Amino acid sequence: MGQTVAATQQHRINLSEQVKLKALGETVIFKGLLPDEVQELAAITVAIRLPKGALIFGEGDPSDFFYIVQEGYVRLFKNAPSGKTLTFTVAGYGDTLNGLALSVDNYFMSAQTMGIVNVLRIPRKEFLQFVEKHPRLMVDLIAIIARRIAYDYARAVGFVGEDVEKRLLHSLYILVCKFGNRLTLTREELANFAGTTTETTIRILGKLKKSGVISCTGNRGEIVISDISKILDRVKSPPPLP
């Protein structure tokens, strides 16, 4: 993704109470909370802004905070011993970042911003105390984790034996279903998500553009999918969605 920006460039921002409550209330794990419970959670939540390329946390770092994306996109990835990078997911508004790591001592993935990003940050100790007071959250968290593991497993199995073009089309389909038909990401970021190289991604995107499956705007790094059915026609069956 390019050079990593030091996380020290992050800074606290003042979000209005209404914006903070809305983001917390629309996060999947907190949707079952009552309004006064969401306000209780907001009281221990801090809003942080980070620049593009900032590492929010790295694999192996102490899992000191629970993070929610309030604005922008964050990629969650792991580095293989070979030096290759695999992006497991791209998180957007209302998504949590490696929340399962709070049950252990360290984050087992890295999280890096893909543009200017606002996150809501809750200290681990305060978050776990809140969960103890509202134990039904643990049930919701387990369900979310189970779905996430099932998705990652299905996606990994799907990669086995698939040609690169099909993997790239599957990746575009997943991203479009989540973020809409106008995707702002670099070729390297898309390559990491599809488990291939940047050079191969550029070549295949060129083919897809010529055949009308995608189009690219004048904005650097923007890919537009005008008709998702063209992607489905090529992959035959839709990939699993997170």
Give percent above pLDDT 90 in the chain.
37
Q: How much is the pTM?
A: 0.82
> DSSP character for 15?
-
Give the tens place of pLDDT for each residue, 167-210.
Answer: 898 889 888 888 888 888 888 889 988 888 899 999 999 888 88
Give the tens place of pLDDT for each residue, 84-143.
Answer: 788 888 999 999 997 777 778 889 899 999 989 999 999 999 999 999 998 888 888 788
Q: What is the pLDDT of residue 101?
A: 72
For residues 222, 120, 7 and 197, what is the CA-based torsion angle, rounded to 10 degrees? -30
Q: What is the pLDDT of residue 150?
A: 78
Q: What Rg value do the Cα atoms of the chain yield, rounded? A: 18
Q: What is the pLDDT of residue 110?
A: 94
Q: What is the rounded average pLDDT for all residues in the chain?
A: 85
Tokens 């794990």 correspond to what residue? 29
Q: What is the pLDDT of residue 146?
A: 80
Q: What is the pLDDT of residue 2?
A: 42
